[in-house]
Structure 1
């Protein structure tokens, strides 16, 4: 013969919270300061590449990537390993497009 499980009787339990702390309306963080120190190096975004198409010029490519045709020299200098003359780029060449500071 099994007896039914008795449930705990909490009917006589009471609780009370008493505190001497004053009621705070809003936390005051006005004196808090923070700083972050790091030894990590600043990493530049990855260099892009561009495949030259028929009719392209370094000025045209610079305008596309930098918004200024006058930045063509940055592309030329980044690709000196394959370019001897800025006016002689060929379709199919893959040029490095360096990240430059505006």
Structure 2
């Protein structure tokens, strides 16, 4: 037999907190958000208008949108009852889209 000494590991200690890589915390200091409104749109997406004598789609557009050029939106919304934008009749109930493109 040989008189070789065996390695003495009795004083060795080890501690493992986690095996997960340590990562610096995310920096959100430059993040911004903006909310214009939290109000939900409720109700119909259009309103109605009863045509009066002398009305034109341009005049109705100006009344609702503040500009005569929105007449086509009213015409398109009422294609079920209008074939010609120049032929609207008093008493007709027209749909007026709220979202005028």
Give the TM-score category using the shorter length: 0.5 to 0.7
TM-score for the superposition, normalised by structure 2: 0.56
Paired residues of 2:65 and 2:100 also in contact (CA < 8 A) = no
State the match for 1:54 in structure 2. 53
Contact kept? 2:73, 2:100, Cα under 8 Å: no
Could you tell me which residue of structure 2 aligns to residue 15 of structure 1? Answer: none
Displacement of 1:55 in angstroms is 0.1
Stretches of structure 1 that go unaligned for 5 or more consecutive residues are 1-34, 36-41
**Structure 2: tracts of 5 or more residues without a match:** 1-32, 34-39
**Count of aligned positions:** 65
Taking structure 1 as the reference length, the TM-score comes to 0.56
Q: CA RMSD in A?
A: 2.5
SS of the residue aligned with 2:82?
coil
TM-aligned CA deviation for residue 43 of structure 1: 3.5
| Runs of 4+ with >6 A deviation | none
Counterpart of 2:80? 81
How far residue 101 of structure 1 moved from its aligned partner, in angstroms, is 4.7
